Amino acid sequence: MNQIDTGKFIASCRKEKGLTQAQLAEKLNITDRAVSKWETGKCMPDSSIMLELCNILDVTVNELLSGERIEMNNYEEKVSENLIELKRKDENNMNKNTIISIIYTITMVIGILVCCICDVAISGTLTWSLITLSSILITWIASFPVILLGKKGVLVAMVAISILILPFMYILSILIKVNEVFNIGAIMSIYTLVFLWIIYILYYRFKERKLLATGITFLFAIPFTLLINITLSKLIGEPVIDVWDILSVFILLIVSVAFIIGDYARKKGFVR
């Protein structure tokens, strides 16, 4: 299995069907830039659209991965070769990610130990280092799945953050003895979690159209900004809207429109 061979095969089959890159991209609801990357061997089609791509090109998944038409007498052999190659790639990626994860964990542990030792040496007991300990711990729990599993770990990280953020805010408020940290922080955390889940869903839904996902994200940031301002106004008496908020909303709107227009232009083949 070779990305370059697969890319050339996709290009050949596309031309046989009389399709341009833009037309193939439109059928798959992706950008022609993604098709171009496949055909130049820079990346492979995502598994979520591979079957649909094969149906359009009238090839099998095995032929797509092999980068060539396969005779029936060689079909089973090619299936085995492709499966072995995919497994080997997964194992290599996992081994690399495991090493990075171990180094990352050791670094975190060293950071915790240094803070605790310094705290005990200065204060005679654990005081401010407990804040560092809890902060590093929740950071590690949230980031470790992504480092170890890559994109597959994002969902695990999101679930972990959703479960742990409120207990973390409560513990933090106890450690620094300020109730407002939890009272205000909990509400802000819930808003932030909702926003993060919207971003996750957007990028999952439009995984081949990241410009569109980014544009919609900036668009959603506008009502969330207003929601946060209204909440803070009621909790601590801050003004709901000032000149900087108006400027921020205006900038978010411009950036959002720019990304959406960019996605439209790329999908239609006006830009690459």
Tens-of-pLDDT digits for all 272 residues of the chain? 577 888 888 888 888 888 888 888 888 878 778 888 888 888 888 777 887 888 888 888 777 777 777 766 555 556 656 565 665 666 566 678 888 999 999 999 999 999 999 999 998 888 999 999 999 999 999 999 998 888 888 999 999 999 999 999 999 999 988 888 899 999 999 999 999 999 999 998 887 788 899 999 999 999 998 898 888 888 887 777 778 888 998 999 999 999 999 988 877 766 65
Q: What CATH number matches the domain at 3-70, 3.40.920.10, 1.10.260.40, 1.10.4160.10, 3.30.1490.20? A: 1.10.260.40
Q: Are 226 and 246 in contact (CB under 8 A)?
A: no
Q: What is the pLDDT of residue 116?
A: 93
pLDDT of residue 60: 81
Global pTM value: 0.67
